[in-house]
């Protein structure tokens, strides 16, 4: 690889490291090009991208972007998954792919600026998706409001029944 090509790769990876808050690092040894393309497709569904990175160039890019902790994960054949908005979706895609392709070994990742181990990546994959978490949060927030509306509705309907009874009693007293 020529020096200008290396510089372009370093700049590209450094930009991805700067722009992406969360990433996962994997060993892809033993996967075919077709299998890597399949994995890229699954990751793309969650807004993530997979990039095969040379360790030395990745280390230089990590230094340039201020993401030095990533360098600890760079050894052997390295594929870096740069996560988009759906961190859990990317972790699930990697985990599901690794179940059917045991050659893919997730080494760990970087959440914000903290290194995580492969077990933490599996734990992330076990979480519900972002949409499900948002729906659960909205449901949790709406439950007390629904209870309040029910209580208020019961109070108002009880008041209306009491007024009806008073009106009926006065009507009955007026007839007598």
Q: List the CATH number of the domain containing 61.
A: 3.30.70.1730
- Dist. CA 120–CA 155, nearest whole Å: 50
Residue 109's H or E segment, with its range, is: strand 105-111
Domain that holds residue 117: 3-127
pLDDT, position 164: 87
**Tens digits of per-residue pLDDT, 76-111?**
889 999 998 888 889 999 999 999 999 999 999 998
- Dist. CA 152–CA 146, nearest whole Å: 10
Neighbouring C-beta atoms of residue 73, cutoff 10 Å: 24
Does position 147 have pLDDT exceeding 70, yes or no?
yes
pLDDT, position 41: 93
- Dig out the tokens for 126 from the structure: 């076990």
Enter the DSSP assignment of 126. T
Rounded to an integer, the average pLDDT of 128-156 is 78
Average pLDDT score, the chain: 87
Do the Cβ atoms of 11 and 58 come closer than 8 Å?
Answer: no
Residue of higher predicted confidence among 31 and 146? 31
92 and 143 inside one domain: no
**Tens digits of per-residue pLDDT, 16-61?**
888 889 999 999 999 999 999 999 999 999 899 999 999 999 999 9
The model carries a pTM of 0.71
DSSP per position, 15-78: HHHHH-SEEEEEE-TT--HHHHHHHHHHHHHTT-EEEEE-HHHHHHHHHHHT-GGGGGG--SSE
Does position 172 have pLDDT exceeding 70, yes or no?
yes
71 and 144 inside one domain: no
Q: Any idea which residue has 């760079």 for tokens?
A: 74
Rounded to an integer, the average pLDDT of 50-77 is 90
Count of structural domains, the chain: 2
119 and 165 inside one domain: no
31 and 112 inside one domain: yes
- Dist. CA 157–CA 163, nearest whole Å: 10
- Single out the residue of 109, 25, 112, 13 nearest to residue 65, CA to CA: 13
51 and 72 inside one domain: yes
Does position 175 have pLDDT exceeding 80, yes or no?
no
pLDDT, position 176: 58
Could you tell me the sign of the dihedral formed by the alpha carbons of 166, 171, 174, 176, in that order? negative
Rounded to an integer, the average pLDDT of 145-164 is 78
- Dist. CA 102–CA 18, nearest whole Å: 30
76: left (phi over 0), alpha (psi -120 to 50) or beta: left
């Amino acid at each position: 690889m020529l020096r200008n090509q290396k510089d372009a790769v370093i700049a590209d990876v450094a930009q991805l490291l700067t722009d992406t808050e969360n990433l996962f690092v994997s060993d892809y040894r033993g996967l075919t090009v077709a299998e890597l393309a399949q994995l890229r497709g699954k990751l793309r569904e969650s807004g993530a991208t997979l990039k095969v990175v040379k360790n030395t160039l990745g280390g230089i890019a990590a230094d340039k972007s201020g993401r030095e902790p990533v360098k600890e994960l760079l050894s052997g054949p390295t594929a870096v998954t740069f996560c988009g908005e759906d961190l859990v979706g990317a972790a699930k895609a990697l985990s599901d792919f690794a179940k059917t392709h045991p050659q893919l070994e997730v080494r760990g990742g970087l959440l914000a600026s903290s290194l995580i181990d492969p077990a933490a990546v599996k734990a992330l994959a076990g979480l519900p998706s972002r949409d499900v978490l948002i729906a659960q949060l909205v449901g949790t927030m709406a439950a007390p409001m629904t209870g309040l509306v029910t209580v208020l509705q019961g109070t108002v309907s009880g008041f209306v029944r009491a007024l009806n009874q008073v009106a009926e009693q006065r009507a009955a007293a007026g007839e007598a």
